[in-house]
Amino acid sequence: MFIEDRSKTREKLEREEFLKVRYWMSPDPPCISLGDTLGQASEKMNRYQVSSLPVIDDHKKLVGIVSMKKLFSYLLKGQDKDVTIHPVPTKNFAYVRLDDSILYAASFPYEELPVVDENDYVVGMIHTRDMMDGYKKWIHRMEQQENASEVLKVILERAYEGIAVVDQYGVVQEFNEAYSQFIGVKREDAIGRHVTEVIENTNLHQTVKTATPERGVVQRINGQDMIVHRIPLWQDGRVIGAIGMLIFEGVTEVYKIYQSLQKNQQEDNHVRPFVEQLKNDRHVTLDDIVGESREIKEIKRLTRRAARTMATTLITGESGTGKEMIAKSMHALSPFAEGPFISVNCGAIPESLFESELFGYEEGAFTGAKKGGKLGKFELAQYGTLFLDEIGELPLVMQTKLLRVLQEKEGERIGGNKKYPIRARIIAATNRNLKKCIQEGSFREDLYYRLNIIEIPLPSLKERKTDIPLLLNDYTKKICKQYQIEEKTYTPEAIGVLVQRDWPGNIRELVNVIERLVTLVEQTVIDITHVHTYLAEQPKAITKEPSLIEEAKDMGRKRERDLIIDTLRQVGGNKKKAAERLGIHRTTLYQKLKKFQIQM
């Protein structure tokens, strides 16, 4: 009876829409053609940091796959790197289709598989970490604990990787056949024992205590260096166990890491301006970032890779290009996806409040301090992501303190004498040229290199104009739904005008214009006349004679500007000496240089 129930559960899961490969694969993977060389394949693997490449023919159809392991073996045997892919065996390879189940994909002894459509065109790649992500999300959705337990058993049976699950005390609760065969311990002998008694050199019990995920860690088991992932399991804000996954590919796969579950959040149903809703929506994934241009595909690919590491990331780009959406997407794909996403606008907090906002304070630390003290942003972001927006606006004094925190991975509240560990992913963003800021002395060079481990440079909208029709269609539908009005469309002429516009405000400006058109145009079809009407420049306000007070203020500002310029010339442009002569702090001098648009 038990075997029959298990079989029914497996069949149900393999038919489940949620678990289909199409929803978990990485789309548009890099491919190699039959006419390309081994050297080109090697360069492409290195550039995209992948361990295998689908091989396609002249009709773009899948004909094989070249793995890094196979490529290295050919090169080590003396094969010339200029030899074409033709001699490389491409038979007996595995692949899956869009509507296959990830359970079926997991049954293959490969960490990565190409995905093809009905015409055998390569449309994606699916990795074991993607499958594990799907399993976790499915289990999270299960309403009955008994059903979730049964699903987990089926997944453990079908997975090629060794998987072990421990509870909050480090006691083994699940142990699949793949792990059992590798270390020679039967499942029934492993379950119920402490994990240190079962798995050699394990650290899984410590993962429960620290609540910190580890990916791509080298662990010596049975005399071999193996790659393992350790992921804490959360429930109701506390760690209830951990999953350990043994990767059989070896240490060359160390950069391959695990995607964790994005915690479901309740949708905010309050009606508010759509631009504001986009900014406040924390439930953002890469699927919400609209675009098919080469530039945006490359950004998505880079974002996926960056999200799967713990490296500090710097997102650069003009205002309105979607830096916060990329940050939220990285959070959703990261091992800290179940934790909070805390956003800090470094350009909106007064300098005097920065330290207390970032690090918090103890009770009685200063006059007006809240009873019981206050948590800082670093503490609020524990086991989650801290997003430092407009990092270029951070005062120099706070830059020094932020650098120390990033180096030591410890913080301390104002008025406190006890440090707390920083266990948050740090993502920064700016629309300023930080290298230029370093030359001007307004941004620390050492902090720049500490933040810029991985850089994601976002293109402006005018650099990817082919995406504008897609953005128009997508945001128009969403805004119509938001305001509960009939869906609207655009004439080709209207779209043409919108595509040709430069959009200095980028996507934020585009969404603003769409919202204006959708709400003000009564017709269901928006034509070129409507576009010209609502994109017209606003009439200039009627000017009047300035008052005597205003004239005096203007004279004072001009005199102050001239004084700063003269002082800078006298000291040869040395801003530190200029600030000392003027009797002001160097930070204040930089603010005035920006205010008066002085460049020296």
Domain harbouring 232, CATH code: 3.30.450.20
Contact 101, 9 (CB under 8 A): no
Give the pair of three-digit tokens for residue 599.
């460049």
The verdict on 449 and 485 lying in the same domain is no
Per the listing, tokens 């206050």 go with: 374
Alpha carbon distance 491, 599 (integer Å): 46
Question: For every one of its 600 residues, what pLDDT tens digit does the chain have, with 9 covering 90 and above?
Answer: 334 455 555 566 666 777 888 888 888 888 888 888 888 888 888 777 777 889 888 888 888 888 877 777 777 766 677 777 764 444 467 889 988 888 888 877 777 889 998 888 888 888 887 787 777 666 655 543 444 445 455 555 555 577 888 888 888 888 888 788 888 888 888 888 888 889 888 888 888 888 777 776 778 887 777 778 888 887 766 788 888 887 654 333 323 332 332 333 333 334 445 544 544 455 677 777 888 888 888 898 898 888 888 889 999 999 888 899 899 988 888 877 878 888 888 877 777 677 888 888 888 776 666 777 888 888 888 888 999 999 998 888 888 888 988 888 888 888 888 888 888 889 999 999 999 999 888 899 999 999 999 999 999 999 998 889 889 988 898 888 888 888 899 988 888 889 888 899 899 899 889 988 988 888 889 998 888 887 754 333 334 455 555 665 566 677 778 788 888 888 888 888 888 887 777 777 777 787 777 776
Among the residues of 334-467, which ranges form H helices? 354-359, 377-380, 396-408, 434-440, 445-451
One domain, residues 74 and 202: no
Residue 313 lies in a domain: yes
**CATH, residue 526:** 1.10.8.60
Q: Write out 56-110 in H/E/C secondary structure.
A: ECCCCEEEEEEEHHHHHHHHHCCCCCCCECCCCCCCCCCCEECCCEHHHHHCCCC
Residue ending a domain, among 513, 535, 557, is 535
Measured distance CA(72)–CA(38) in Å, rounded: 10
Residues 452 and 479 in one domain: no
108 and 86 in a common domain:
yes
Any idea which residue has 């670093």 for tokens?
Answer: 378
Domain boundary among 535, 556, 579: 535
Q: What is the pLDDT of residue 368?
A: 64
Long-range contacts of 466-471 (CB under 8 A, 24+ apart): 466/292, 466/293, 467/290, 467/291, 467/292, 467/293, 467/296, 468/495, 468/498, 468/499, 468/510, 469/495, 469/499, 470/290, 470/291, 470/292, 471/290, 471/291, 471/507, 471/510
Q: CA–CA separation, 234 vs 416, rounded Å?
A: 30
Give the residues across from 166 on adjacent strands: 172, 242
Task: Enter the pTM of the model.
Answer: 0.48
Same domain, 428 and 470: no
Q: What's residue 547's pLDDT?
A: 52
Question: How distant, in Å, are the alpha carbons of 129, 335, 496 from that of 234?
Answer: 18, 12, 50
- Domain containing 567 — which CATH number? 1.10.10
Q: Which residues pair with 430 in a beta bridge?
A: 316
Q: Which of 581, 584, 328, 563 is nearest to 456 (CA)?
A: 328
Residue at 139 is within a domain: no
CA–CA dist 306, 300 (Å, integer)? 10
Please tell me whether residues 347 and 405 are part of one structural domain.
Answer: yes
- Where among 107, 127, 147 does a domain terminate? 127
Residues 6 or more apart in contact with residue 171 via CB below 8 angstroms: 192, 193, 194, 195
101 domain-assigned: yes
Based on the fold, state whether residues 442 and 487 are members of the same structural domain. no
Residue 143 lies in a domain: no
Asked if residues 324 and 280 have their Cβ atoms less than 8 Å apart, the reply is: no
The verdict on 168 and 248 lying in the same domain is: yes
Q: Do the Cβ atoms of 176 and 156 come closer than 8 Å? A: yes
CA distance 455 to 477: 32
The distance of Cα 231 from the centroid of its chain, to the nearest Å, equals: 18
147: in domain? no
- Give, to the nearest 10 degrees, the angle between helix 323-333 and helix 294-307: 40
List, as one string, the DSSP characters of 193-217. Answer: SBHHHHSTT--HHHHHHH---EEEE
Q: Does residue 116 sit in the same domain as residue 59?
A: yes
Q: Is residue 219 part of a domain?
A: yes
Domain count, the chain: 5
Residue 195 domain flag? yes
**In this structure, are residues 259 and 266 in contact, taking their beta carbons and an 8 Å threshold?**
no
Whether residue 447 sits in one domain with residue 469 = no
Same domain, 312 and 404: yes
Tokens representing residue 134 in the block? 């799907």
Measure Cα distances from 593 to 190, 422, 442, 560, 597 in Å: 68, 35, 11, 11, 6
Say if 263 falls within a structural domain: no
CATH code of the domain covering residue 302: 3.40.50.300
Amino acid at 560: E
* Residue at token pair 């991975």: 409
Q: Considering just the CA atoms, what is the radius of gyration of the chain in Å?
A: 28
Residues 453 and 484 in one domain: no
| Residues spanned by the domain of 107 | 2-127
Which DSSP letter does residue 391 get? Answer: G
Token pair for 377: 């942003």
User: Strands 122-127 and 26-27, how do they pair?
Assistant: antiparallel
Q: Among all chains, which residue has been given the structure tokens 């391959």?
A: 256
